[in-house]
Structure 1
Amino acid sequence: MIDVLVIGGGNAALCAALMAREAGASVLLLEASPQAWRGGNSQHTRNLRCMHDAPQDVLVEAYTEEEYWQDLLKVTGGATNEALARLVIRESSTCRPWMRSHGVHFQPSLSGALHTARTNAFFMGGGKALVNAYYRSAERLGVQVRYEAPVDSLELDEGRFVAAWVGSERIEARSCVLAAGGFESNREWLREAWGVNERGEHPADNFLIRGTRFNTGTLLRFMQGAGADMIGDATQAHMVAIDARAPLYDGGICTRIDCVSLGVVVNREAQRFYDEGEDFWPKRYAIWGRLVAQQPGQVAWSIIDAKAVGRFMPPVFPGTQADSLHELAVMLGLEPNTFVQTLERYNAACRVGSFDHTALDDCHTEGLAPAKTHWARPLDTPPFYGYALRPGVTFTYLGLKVDARAAAHFGGRASDNLFVAGEMMAGNVLGKGYTAGVGMSIGTAFGRIAGTQAALAAIKEHSHAAA
């Protein structure tokens, strides 16, 4: 019998598998996808948010535990478990040497990746390189890996893991780590969660999925039905406003539109609906998908002028370009007079001080609702550009309640051999909101914890059986 069964194939699952193997356990990893698509959403990532008290190779200055915690507290609005969040934060300060030992390399913050040189360590080659490095290391250490092996259900005995089912195949193990992702690619579940809005629309029908098509939430649904303690809101997710022309699945990072804070965003009725300059983009980019999801038709447009060009990471698709605001509105299919009036009101309300996109500057609007609190400059320099936006779901936050040992809970009682990592438990830390790189911090921290605890549980059971 195998010691530790790891279900999932992304960052959290791989960290768990590697840690369990290093602890002396035999490990089998089951990945639902074909080998070519392995890695779940981790293949689309770029970086890890890291606490550090002093400069650290690719990380400049310092980013303390307290500042990290305050950043997380601000974006979640307090919807977070402080003890588990601080556990993630502290783990983020010590995990990188271990990551390097498994072939992960780091590079300085990318040009155009605003404000992250101090807070985020970027993976050389991106998430795909990280995933491939971990798989190579797992193979070298003797972790067994099976692809196209989706787990449909588990066999449980009063909260204890007994076996997993892949179709008609039953796989026993002494302990198990669940790291199979959220339910973001399950359209029916998204429709169920979001329901019908006041306009009679099913908002979820217009969502794009930034990440993998293989995160269907099958195990999450099973655990919910099996009486596991759940946490989080099914409508909360890492949801980004992405290019409306992005593919339905696996668009990844290149579909993000990063010019929001440099201009204005209007909905289908050519009206602004939120403060584009509320805070630095890495702390706010992941709220815009939800904001767009609440607009008519779940669509919006990011509008900039020539002054913004070169100040943000260019998207993969060019924007719609025009020499006048009226012409741009016609090209975007928006009512021209309303659009021009919206932009003229915004331009008149701008109080331009010392523009500085690397700081919370004093360029703001007055007498305008919603206000733009930073980086407010009139859009008056042609050519003008418009980017159509749709909600892009990265991962969902509904998950399994865990403790500091990453143990699943049933009726408030911790399982002694079933552990959870990654998106399946991220809702313990992320009740809502997001800040760049924290998903990888959660997956790495709890993947490592879950793998260690699963190995200890398996070795304990093995020794009991031998006695």
Structure 2
Amino acid sequence: MHTDVLVIGGGNAALCAALTAAEAGARVLLLEAAPRLLRGGNSAHTRNLRCMHDAPQDVLVDAYPEEEFWQDLLKVTGGRTSEPLARLTIRASSTCRDWMRRHGVRFQPPLSGALHVARTNAFFMGGGKALVNAYYRSAERLGVQVRYETPVQRLEIEAGRFVAAHAGDERITADACVLAAGGFESNREWLSEAWGTNARGERPAEQFLIRGTRFNQGVLLRHLLEAHRADAIGDPTQAHMVAIDARAPLYDGGICTRIDCVSLGIVVNREALRFYDEGEDFWPKRYAIWGRLVAGQPGQIAWSVIDAKAAGRFMPPVFPGEVAQSLPELARRLGLDEATFMRTVDDYNRACQAGHFDHTTLDDCHTAGLQPPKTHWARPLDTPPYTAYALRPGVTFTYLGLKTDETAAVRFGDRPSDNLFVAGEMMAGNVLGQGYTAGVGMSIGTAFGRIAGAGAASAAHRARKENA
């Protein structure tokens, strides 16, 4: 079969591309690997996108100017980012909400409390599943043809130009194609291959859990990189990786498995030792480093330990924690060496400096003479009951992807294709070399999905003119 624009993928970036191409008058076919009930990829698990704004805007309070957004991104990536593509994403985030509303997305009023995101992030009413459903309804109205349970195994590419896609025994041709099929985070064999064996003889990736869809196997990504030598970007071990509840399911645990009390207590590893500053910065800026930190610990496991003073100050996870009336009892319940655990807690408690605790600011409650330090929100663990949550690394999406530029074109030997484009997780490594800050993945997917869709529609229009 033949279409003007073929979109491979079914999440936010793919839908933004399909909608944009359809708005431009192209006939669009979208292929989603998942069944209809599980459509939307990781986007179904999201809640918000990060938005630049110079003044209060509808659901966003105060201001979050371009330079502050850029500095936040620069900090979490450690400079491993393309500034032009990052700034393109940032600027696009300031103007996308009206377009999203036209396609049925609704936003909820600003949030208050400990998440610190009412100024920076716009939250979807009903979460990511509602956003995905709204986009699919809009796509249907625009005439986009959607086929579920249709994974694509390989592409035909000639001299850098897309020719056809193969889904099972079917060959589908198109004048242009957008790749938005996600990373390889659901492919545990590839994760294990990338992470290898550590100095303790462990294979860390075997302990990883996948926060999102099971359908992001990276089949097309590997095919593009190996069979067609498309230009690559990113480190295969880098990912949006969060510390989540160790009891979470292997796939599709989503947001409710995240543990958000890290900054309110201490985190210890299997040896009952702390290993990083729990109060380094506001949680939305630093939560995504903790998956990788736990991945580096023995057995890829750790415990977030709080006391009663933390109650009500964080989003409660779906599973209850391990609770004890004394710290020695808690150590025994966790299977940790009691003497070492008590020494760790006693050292921390003695190091806590009196200050004015305020979890909504970078307060002056810190430790002194302790390694690693706790920079903010350091209060002694001294008020029972005590609670601990077991942590495992939870992978959201991987950063190895296809190199691109401001046109979203896939590149071969540093030459951009004129009819093959990429968006979403398959190119997020251009902006995210490491680290993460809340909502930026949706910002990248929305910006480059729309760019890719417009580029594909233009390529299809050129092809029609040439063939007329």
The answer to whether TM tops 0.5 is: yes
CA offsets per residue over residues 405-453 of structure 1, 9 Å max, x none? 0000000100000000000000000000000000000000000000000
CA distance in 1: counterparts of 2:383 and 2:132, whole angstroms = 44
Q: Which residue of 2 aligns with 1:403?
A: 405
CA distance in 2: counterparts of 1:283 and 1:121, whole angstroms = 16
CA distance in 1: counterparts of 2:157 and 2:396, whole angstroms = 30
CA distance in 2: counterparts of 1:38 and 1:333, whole angstroms = 40
Q: Which residue of 2 aligns with 1:234?
A: 236
CA distance in 1: counterparts of 2:352 and 2:272, whole angstroms = 18
Cα pair 2:31 2:146 within 8 Å, conserved: yes
CA distance in 2: counterparts of 1:376 and 1:147, whole angstroms = 50
CA distance in 1: counterparts of 2:392 and 2:33, whole angstroms = 28
CA offsets per residue over residues 185-207 of structure 1, 9 Å max, x none? 00100000000001111100000
Aligned alpha-carbon RMSD (Å): 0.7
CA offsets per residue over residues 287-338 of structure 1, 9 Å max, x none? 0000000000000000000000000111111111101100000011111111
Q: Which residue of 1 aligns with 2:418?
A: 416
User: SS state of the match for residue 423, structure 1?
Assistant: helix
Cα pair 1:9 1:38 within 8 Å, conserved: yes
Cα pair 1:112 1:313 within 8 Å, conserved: no
Q: Which residue of 2 aligns with 1:293?
A: 295
CA drift of 1:112 comes to 4.7
For 2:379, give the aligned amino acid: R
CA drift of 1:97 comes to 0.1
User: SS state of the match for residue 394, structure 2?
Assistant: strand
CA drift of 1:158 comes to 1.2
Q: Which residue of 1 aligns with 2:174?
A: 173
CA drift of 1:167 comes to 1.1
CA distance in 2: counterparts of 1:416 and 1:351, whole angstroms = 60
Q: Which residue of 2 aligns with 1:457?
A: 459
Q: Which residue of 2 aligns with 1:325?
A: 327
User: SS state of the match for residue 363, structure 1?
Assistant: coil
Q: Which residue of 2 aligns with 1:190?
A: 191
Question: Any residues of structure 2 matched to 1:203-242 within 5 Å, and which?
Answer: 203-225=204-226, 226-242=228-244
Cα pair 2:264 2:377 within 8 Å, conserved: yes
CA drift of 1:111 comes to 5.0
CA offsets per residue over residues 86-137 of structure 1, 9 Å max, x none? 0000000000000000000001244556100000000000000000000000
Q: Which residue of 2 aligns with 1:377?
A: 379
Stretches (4+) displaced over 2 A: 108-113
CA offsets per residue over residues 253-312 of structure 1, 9 Å max, x none? 000000000000000000000000000000000000000000000000000000000001
Question: Any residues of structure 2 matched to 1:232-381 within 5 Å, and which?
Answer: 232-381=234-383
CA offsets per residue over residues 148-174 of structure 1, 9 Å max, x none? 000000000011000000011100000
Cα pair 1:320 1:331 within 8 Å, conserved: yes
CA distance in 1: counterparts of 2:108 and 2:58, whole angstroms = 9
For 2:3, give the aligned amino acid: I
Cα pair 1:236 1:432 within 8 Å, conserved: yes
For 2:128, give the aligned amino acid: G
CA distance in 1: counterparts of 2:347 and 2:402, whole angstroms = 47
Q: Does 1:199 align with 2:200?
A: yes
CA distance in 2: counterparts of 1:159 and 1:273, whole angstroms = 47
User: SS state of the match for residue 72, structure 1?
Assistant: helix
TM-score normalized by structure 2? 0.99
CA drift of 1:73 comes to 0.2
CA distance in 2: counterparts of 1:330 and 1:258, whole angstroms = 23
Identity of aligned residues (%): 79
CA distance in 2: counterparts of 1:110 and 1:158, whole angstroms = 50
Question: Any residues of structure 2 matched to 1:46-61 within 5 Å, and which?
Answer: 46-61=47-62
Q: Which residue of 2 aligns with 1:98?
A: 99
Q: Which residue of 2 aligns with 1:119?
A: 120
Count matched residues.
466
CA distance in 2: counterparts of 1:371 and 1:356, whole angstroms = 18
Q: Which runs of 5+ in 2 are unaligned?
A: none
For 2:330, give the aligned amino acid: L
CA distance in 2: counterparts of 1:410 and 1:363, whole angstroms = 52
Q: Does 1:8 align with 2:30?
A: no
CA distance in 2: counterparts of 1:229 and 1:363, whole angstroms = 47
Q: Which residue of 2 aligns with 1:20?
A: 21
Q: Which residue of 2 aligns with 1:163?
A: 164
Q: Select 1:391's aligned residue among 383, 390, 393.
A: 393
Cα pair 2:61 2:110 within 8 Å, conserved: no
User: SS state of the match for residue 205, structure 1?
Assistant: helix
Which 10-residue stretch deviates more, 101-110 or 218-227?
Answer: 101-110
For 1:130, give the aligned amino acid: L
For 1:254, give the aligned amino acid: C
